[in-house]
């Protein structure tokens, strides 16, 4: 509520609900001051996980002489407290020869404290995540800190302790050359990055070059080491393989069974195409219907130049629509990091189970938190691109969109048994995007591509133009 709901009177909120918040702690401790500190520390942990501080709000202060975390940082404690699964600890015994070679070389650098930057290459389904889990478990079992980092939010759920790169390093939304991450040397994130031994960055090929560069500069700054990434061992997932071709076909989703729905996705390059497909499929979907309307405002519109009707009509990338039409059993995708440690990351796919006025009852269906029921709140959202409009749009809406179809970038980190890539027109698509789209499925047979050719080609097997300049690939 503090982070997303913007309560007007935080101290009244605290006073009204303190008895409920402190109920469990009152059973453990008799000292009232200690009970209050425990509640505040618990709130502080959640706030700091979302880059906020207790002092940002009108709440009581934690008593310094009772603060149980005054000598440490919760970020460091959180990493040390990650439970090492026995299955992951023994995963090294099931590695294939290629995985075993990579595992042994990386662990040698860990044990001998040797700087190293490693690049892991392999198509989807070849066991990269399995290797990462084995490395994370065995490094942590040695009492060391290994950070699991991903480019897309949903992929964070595939690894224990996973966080997005933006959340982990505080990368600016629009990084530029020589900029730095939003981390000062005194905070817990900096202490964590100084103590960690290994950083695994999955889906690194999809990150912006500037994002990687600012992480490098920041790591050197906070570790006082003028070595790549402050002298830490880095493990990257990159893409070097060629993309496959697929037969052309299209499939639709008409059943309510959640496993059937989540095992399928239609990927496209433009939000317009995605919205068109989602709108058609929700029309044909069964289940109780619920429509949520957003509350929109132009925050800096002092002269009331932009009417509400105009604001409602705006459809912005990364922001849910004003008219959000849902049905019980339909798939949705999360658009914001709400609670990453419990699986609610940007990109997490869920199934709607029930609707209330101010919350949506949903079930996480991907990652290590699959099967968990959660309540999604209505929160204020703003476009990440400040230059998109001449004013600052603020939309209060549930941070989700339908996900029968999704843009390619949102599918990063997911393995989807049946995939259709929908290309209704010729588009300039990068190889990174093409790889992300064609490697989501588990096999070539279950990965289909629909292309609407705009012109005729001499070769019967060519359906769209190759926009790659072959000259740049030559020696």
Domain boundary among 71, 95, 122: 71
Burial class (CB in 10 A: 0-12, 13-18, 19+), 328: middle
At residue 367, the pLDDT reads: 79
Instruction: Tell me, yes or no, whether 47 and 104 share the same domain.
Output: no
pLDDT digits (tens, 9 = 90+) for 373-418: 999 999 999 887 655 677 888 999 999 999 999 888 777 777 788 8
pLDDT interval class at 68 (50, 70, 90): very low
Distance (Å, whole) CA 401 – CA 326: 9
pLDDT at 71: 42
The beta strand positions in 193-319, using DSSP E, are: 198-202, 233-238, 264-268, 289-293, 295-298
Q: Report the DSSP beta bridge partners of residue 184.
A: none
With H, G, I as helix, E, B as strand and everything else as coil, classify residue 449: strand
Average pLDDT over residues 166-180: 80
DSSP class of residue 116?
-
Pairing relationship of beta strands 295-298 and 393-397 according to DSSP bridges: antiparallel
Average pLDDT of the residues in 276-295: 89
Q: What is the mean pLDDT of residues 314-327?
A: 90
Residue 99 placed within a domain: yes
Cα distances (Å, whole numbers) of residue 219 to 20, 149, 172, 208, 244: 41, 15, 15, 17, 37
Q: What pLDDT sits at residue 472? A: 55
Instruction: Please determine, for residue 14, whether its predicted confidence score (pLDDT) is greater than 60.
Output: yes
77-106 pLDDT, tens per residue?
778 878 888 888 888 899 998 899 999 999
Contact status, residue 368 vs residue 343, Cβ threshold 8 Å? yes
Which pLDDT band, with edges at 50, 70 and 90, does 370 fall under? confident
282 and 344 co-located in one domain: yes
Q: Highest-confidence range of 49-63, 143-157, 230-244, by mean pLDDT?
A: 49-63
Residue 72 — very low, low, confident or very high, per pLDDT cuts 50/70/90? low
Same domain, 214 and 333: no
Q: To which residue do tokens 């002298």 refer?
A: 231
Sequence-distant contacts of 318-321: CB under 8 A, at least 24 apart? 318/383, 318/384, 319/381, 319/382, 319/383, 319/393, 319/395, 319/397, 320/294, 320/381, 320/395, 320/397, 320/398, 320/399, 320/400, 320/401, 321/275, 321/294, 321/397, 321/401
- Same domain flag for 30 and 143: no
Q: Using the 3D structure, point to which of 238, 255, 284 is the last residue of a domain.
A: 238
pLDDT at 245: 31
User: Do residues 365 and 351 make contact, with C-beta atoms less than 8 angstroms apart?
Assistant: yes
For residues 277 and 397, membership in a common domain is answered with yes
Q: For residue 151, is it within any domain?
A: yes
Residues 105 and 185 occupy one common structural domain: yes
Mean pLDDT of 464-469: 62
The 8-class DSSP code of residue 289 comes to E
Average pLDDT (22-35) is 83
Cα 383 off chain centre by:
17
What is the per-residue pLDDT across 29-39, written as a single tens digit (0 to 9) for each? Answer: 778 888 888 88
The residue out of 365, 385, 406 marking a domain boundary is 406
Maximum distance among all alpha carbons in the chain? 83
Q: Are residues 337 and 400 in the same domain?
A: yes
For residue 443, what are the contacts with CB-CB under 8 A and spacing of at least 6? Answer: none
Q: Are residues 22 and 96 in the same domain?
A: no
Q: Label residue 364 by pLDDT band (50, 70, 90).
A: very high
Average pLDDT (182-206) is 84
Buried b / exposed e across 271-284, counting CB within 10 Å, b at 16+? eebbbebbeebbee
Distances (CA, A) of 189 to 72, 142, 182, 408, 419: 12, 21, 10, 31, 38
- Per-residue pLDDT at 470: 62
Average pLDDT over residues 262-290: 86
- For the cut 60, the answer to whether the pLDDT of residue 475 exceeds it is no
On whether both 105 and 62 belong to a single domain, the answer is no
Q: Are residues 86 and 204 in the same domain?
A: yes
Domain that holds residue 92: 80-238
Q: Out of 196-200, 344-348, 456-460, pick the least confident.
A: 456-460
CATH number at residue 145: 3.40.50.300
Q: If we measure between CA atoms, which residue out of 155, 143, 248 comes closest to residue 205?
A: 155
Backbone angles phi, psi at 199, to 5 degrees: -120, 120
Quick one: pLDDT band at residue 286, thresholds 50, 70, 90? confident
Q: What is the mean pLDDT of residues 122-141?
A: 84
Please tell me the total count of domains within the chain.
3
Question: How high is the pLDDT of residue 305?
Answer: 86
Q: What gap in Å lies between CA 194 and CA 188, rounded to an integer? A: 10
Give residue for tokens 């189970």. 353
What is the average per-residue pLDDT within 150-171? 78
434-442 mean pLDDT:
75
Q: Distance between CA 67 and CA 37 in Å, rounded?
A: 7
Q: How many CB atoms lie within 10 A of CB 119?
A: 13
Same domain? 179 vs 288: no
Confidence (pLDDT) at 455: 67
DSSP 52-104: --GGGSS-PPPPTTT-TTTTS-HHHHHHHT----HHHHTGGGG--HHHHHHHH
Closest of 365, 378, 381, 376 to residue 319, by C-alpha:
381
**Average pLDDT of the residues in 169-183:** 80
My answer on whether 97 and 222 are in the same domain is yes
Residue 226 has pLDDT above 60, yes or no: yes
Whether residue 456 lies inside any domain: the answer is no
Q: What pLDDT is attached to residue 351?
A: 93
pTM: 0.57
Q: What are phi and psi of 71, to 5 degrees?
A: -100, 5
- Average pLDDT for 277-293: 88
Q: Is 256 helix (H, G, I), strand (E, B) or coil?
A: coil
Instruction: Select, from the ranges 57-66, 134-143, 437-446, the one with the highest average predicted confidence (pLDDT).
Output: 134-143
CA–CA distance, 179 with 171 (Å, rounded to integer)? 9
Residue 28 lies in a domain: yes
The DSSP call for residue 244 is P
User: Is 431 inside a domain boundary?
Assistant: no
Tell me what the pLDDT averaged over the chain comes to: 81
Write down the pLDDT at residue 253. 35
pLDDT value at 117 more than 60: yes
pLDDT of residue 392: 86
């Amino acid at each position: 509520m503090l982070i997303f709901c913007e309560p007007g009177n935080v101290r009244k909120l605290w006073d009204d609900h303190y008895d409920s918040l402190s109920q469990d702690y009152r059973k453990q401790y008799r000292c009232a001051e200690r009970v209050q500190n425990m509640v505040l520390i618990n709130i502080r942990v959640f706030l700091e996980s979302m880059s906020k501080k207790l002092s940002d709000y009108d709440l009581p202060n934690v008593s310094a002489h009772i603060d149980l975390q005054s000598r440490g940082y919760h970020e460091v404690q959180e990493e040390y407290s990650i439970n090492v699964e026995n299955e992951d600890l023994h995963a090294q015994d099931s590695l294939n020869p290629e995985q075993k070679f990579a595992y042994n070389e990386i662990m040698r650098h860990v044990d001998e404290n040797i700087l190293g930057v490693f690049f892991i290459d392999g198509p989807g389904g070849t066991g990269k995540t399995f290797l990462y889990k084995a490395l994370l478990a065995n490094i942590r079992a040695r009492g060391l800190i290994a950070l699991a980092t991903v480019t897309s939010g949903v992929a964070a759920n595939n690894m224990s302790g996973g966080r997005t790169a933006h959340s982990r390093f505080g990368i600016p939304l629009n990084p530029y050359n020589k900029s730095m991450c939003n981390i000062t040397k005194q905070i817990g994130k900096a202490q964590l990055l100084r103590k960690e031994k290994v950083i695994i960055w999955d889906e690194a090929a999809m990150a912006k070059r500037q994002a990687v560069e600012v992480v490098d500069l920041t790591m050197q700054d906070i570790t006082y080491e003028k070595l790549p990434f402050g002298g830490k061992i880095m493990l990257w997932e990159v893409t070097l393989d060629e993309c496959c071709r697929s037969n052309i076909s299209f499939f639709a989703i008409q059943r309510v069974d959640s496993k059937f729905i989540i095992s399928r996705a239609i990927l496209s390059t433009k939000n317009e195409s995605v919205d068109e497909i989602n709108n058609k499929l929700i029309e044909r979907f069964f289940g109780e219907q619920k429509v949520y309307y957003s509350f929109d405002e132009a925050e800096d519109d002092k002269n009331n130049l932009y009417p509400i009707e105009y604001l409602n009509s705006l459809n912005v990338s990364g922001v849910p629509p004003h008219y959000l039409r849902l049905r019980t059993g339909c798939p949705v995708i999360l658009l914001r990091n709400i609670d990453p440690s419990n699986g609610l990351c940007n990109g997490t796919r869920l199934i709607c189970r029930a609707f209330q006025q101010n919350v949506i009852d949903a079930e996480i269906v991907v990652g290590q938190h699959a099967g968990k029921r959660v309540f999604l709140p209505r929160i204020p959202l703003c476009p990440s691109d400040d230059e998109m409009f001449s004013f600052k749009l603020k939309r209060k809406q549930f941070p989700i969109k339908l996900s029968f179809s999704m843009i390619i970038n949102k599918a990063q980190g997911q393995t989807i048994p049946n995939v259709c890539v929908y290309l209704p027109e010729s588009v300039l698509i990068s190889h990174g995007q093409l790889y992300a789209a064609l490697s989501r499925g588990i096999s070539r047979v279950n990965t289909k591509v629909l292309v609407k050719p705009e012109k005729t080609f001499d070769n019967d097997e060519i359906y769209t133009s190759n926009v790659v300049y072959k000259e740049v690939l030559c020696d």
